[in-house]
Chain A
Amino acid sequence: MQDYLLILLGTVFVNNIVMTKMLGLCPFMGVSRKLETSLGMGAATTFVLTLASGLSYLIETHVLGEELRYLRTLSFIVVIAGIVGFTEMFIRKTSPVLFRVLGIYLPLITTNCAVLGIPLLNVQARHGFVESLFFGLGGALGFTLVLVLFAALRERLEAADVPLPFRGSAIALVSAGLMSLAFMGFAGLVK
């Protein structure tokens, strides 16, 4: 149990997927303008990512095996696309408001490199099934945390007196870099 807790803590804070591995920067910059959309995006990504890590583990060990290893990326992408399609239908049915808020970003989870990156990292680290699930969940929670924090930051930035050449994406990228530096502070958290 403690191991799983450590994986969760480690992926959320220490090895945050966005801040230390720089994966998933597209939604990180794209959906972080508003707090509400970032929360919705985080929730949808969490759902997809957890399912994707579990399923991709099953496919890696039970379907592909040793001799078909070269199909890994291909089959993972197919699975992720399938899960995203399913999530889209599910959200559309259960919460039309969230569906409208997320809009184009929902199908774009398919191209979120964090969603492909975490299953691949799982394989690389030789995680078991439950470990894979926790790794996926932790990565997604870390992604959500950073996304929400950054959205709050950017809402403040809108009102700040930013020098003209830095307005817009420039200041957003600079603050993302500073945030990444701040996350290095967690490096000694789990020993």
Chain B
Amino acid sequence: MLSAILVMSGIALVLGGVLGWAAIRFRVEEDPLVDKIDAILPQTQCGQCGYPGCRPYAEAIAKGEADINRCPPGGEEGIRQLAELLGVEPKPLGEGLVHKPKSVAVIDERLCIGCTLCIQACPVDAIVGAAKQMHTVVPELCTGCELCVAPCPVDCIRMEVIKEDISNWKWRYPVVSLTALA
């Protein structure tokens, strides 16, 4: 009886020691703040903030290199949450960044020459097509980031605002505009 208790506690002690040592030896230098910021960002990976995606932007915010108001898709609600998390004053969206109504890219298929440039630009793989074949946008996947508009050599991509209908309407948050408060 006693030996059983001794053996089990011995095994537990040894394993606990090894795990404790491993926790120190293999400690991962990871900022938990980055994950929290990344969770607030809208994950559109649009790059309008000037960083190649939401996670790099989150890392830049955590390091203090970037301001919190560089994310148009997140809107004022996003800035408000970031300000709350980081304990700073919320501020209006940065200059040159505007919050646009939600829209999707539409390719004019008569004009498309099949150059695949927009496919390479799309951060969420929402454009289908192959070289010298007509391309088209999968509207369910499109985040409306407009990154595909600029590369198109024949200007056949336009942004269309998504109209509200019964399938996508929802209650609006009662938000007061930050610019009005300032």
Q: Provide the residues of chain A in CB contact with B8, threshold 8 Å.
A: 71, 74-75, 78
Q: Does A43 contact B (CB under 8 A)?
A: no
B26 A92 Cβ-Cβ under 8 A = yes
B15 A79 Cβ-Cβ under 8 A = yes
B7 A89 Cβ-Cβ under 8 A = no
Q: Does A82 contact B (CB under 8 A)?
A: yes
A68 B18 Cβ-Cβ under 8 A = no
Query: Once the chains are docked, how many angstroms separate the CA of A112 from the CA of B180?
Result: 58
Q: What distance in Å separates the Cβ of A100 from its nearest Cβ neighbour in chain B?
A: 12
Q: Mark A62-94, 1 if CB is under 8 A from B, else 0.
A: 011001100100110011011001100110110
Considering only residues 14-39 of chain B, those with a C-beta below 8 Å from chain A are 15, 18-19, 22-23, 26-28
Which of A67, A79, A86, A89 is in CB contact (< 8 Å) with B11? A79
Assess A63 versus B7: contact at CB under 8 Å? Given A82-B15, A86-B19.
yes
Q: Does B3 contact A (CB under 8 A)?
A: yes
Choose among A68, A89, A90, A96 the residue with the greatest number of B CB atoms under 10 Å from its CB.
Answer: A89
Which of B3, B7, B18, B23 is in CB contact (< 8 Å) with A82? B18
Query: Once the chains are docked, how many angstroms separate the CA of A13 from the CA of B27?
Result: 39
Report the interface size for chain A: residues with CB under 8 A from the other chain: 19
A86 B10 Cβ-Cβ under 8 A = no
A71 B7 Cβ-Cβ under 8 A = yes
Assess A93 versus B7: contact at CB under 8 Å? Given A85-B19, A86-B19.
no
Q: What distance in Å separates the Cβ of B27 from its nearest Cβ neighbour in chain A?
A: 8
Q: Provide the residues of chain B in CB contact with A39, threshold 8 Å.
A: none
Q: Does A153 contact B (CB under 8 A)?
A: no
**B-side binding surface: helix, strand, loop or mixed?**
helix
Q: Provide the residues of chain B in CB contact with A59, threshold 8 Å.
A: 11
Query: Once the chains are docked, how many angstroms separate the CA of A75 from the CA of B14?
Result: 12
Q: Provide the residues of chain A in CB contact with B19, threshold 8 Å.
A: 82, 85-86, 89
Report the interface size for chain B: residues with CB under 8 A from the other chain: 15
Q: Does B88 contact A (CB under 8 A)?
A: no
Q: Does B86 contact A (CB under 8 A)?
A: no
Choose among A59, A71, A82 the residue with the greatest number of B CB atoms under 10 Å from its CB.
Answer: A82
Q: Provide the residues of chain A in CB contact with B175, threshold 8 Å.
A: none
Q: Does B182 contact A (CB under 8 A)?
A: no
A86 B7 Cβ-Cβ under 8 A = no
Q: Does B4 contact A (CB under 8 A)?
A: yes
Q: Provide the residues of chain B in CB contact with A79, threshold 8 Å.
A: 11, 15
Residues of A that sit less than 8 Å from B by CB: 59, 63-64, 67-68, 71, 74-75, 78-79, 81-82, 85-86, 89-90, 92-93, 96
8 closest Cβ pairs, A-B complex: A82-B15, A93-B26, A89-B26, A89-B22, A86-B22, A85-B19, A92-B28, A75-B11
Residues of B that sit less than 8 Å from A by CB: 3-4, 7-8, 10-12, 15, 18-19, 22-23, 26-28
Q: List 10 A-B contacts (CB under 8 A).
A: A68-B4, A75-B7, A78-B8, A78-B11, A78-B15, A82-B19, A86-B19, A86-B22, A89-B19, A89-B26
